[in-house]
Amino acid sequence: MTALSPDNTARLYVDYTATGKEHTVIFRPQTGVTIEQLRDWVHDWLTDNAALFATTTVFHDARHSLQNSNVTNPISWTAVVGTSDVPADVDRAPRFGSFVGRSAQGHRVKFGIYGIAFVDDASYRWNAAESAGVTNAVADLNDLQAKLGTITGSKAVWKQYMNTGYNAYWQRKARRG
């Protein structure tokens, strides 16, 4: 499959803080969906699934880029705060949760978020059958009204799980102090 340019679609960048560290997660709209519609859908998805994130995870700002542009501009956003009571201590700073999907054309799509509030699992994967939170999050991603797209702007079918893990970059930073 031919690689596509990262600016092949418009993008929504949601800036957030998790365990005192700044991060950004990127979302793409489906073809025909405006960036404002995507922003509203992402905000609702984060709000509806706030229990997946520790209370120290705060989605505080958003920016967007137009298709074929690398310039980001601010877009209005209301903060979303995680609601899980699982502690988000320094040891969990490199911990993330990610969702994976695939378009009908075969393009893989994935997004990951730090500040996930799940305890460690030996398989580093929480199946929908193991967690009502994951079941709800994946159902929202696969909903016909979902606005999230792939790098081609097409709709994806999302896998019935959330991967978890520890990012190696943040592991190395923690080891160095």
Burial track 145-161 (b if 16+ CB lie within 10 A, e otherwise): ebbbbbbbbbbbebbeb
Instruction: Indicate the DSSP class of residue 153.
Output: S
Of 99, 119, 118, the closest CA to residue 109 belongs to 99
pTM of the model: 0.92
Contact criterion met (CB below 8 Å) for 39 and 10: no
- 101, two tokens: 């999907």
Digit-coded pLDDT (tens) for 143-177: 989 999 999 999 999 999 999 988 887 777 777 76
Residue 31 has pLDDT above 90, yes or no: yes
Return the SS3 of 39: helix
Digit-coded pLDDT (tens) for 77-100: 999 999 988 766 666 777 899 999
Largest CA distance in the chain: 46
Contact criterion met (CB below 8 Å) for 109 and 156: yes
- 110, two tokens: 């994935």
Q: Which whole number is the average pLDDT over 33-50?
A: 97
The size of the chain, in residues, is 177
> What are residue 43's phi and psi, to 5 degrees?
-60, -45
Percent residues over pLDDT 90 in the chain? 66
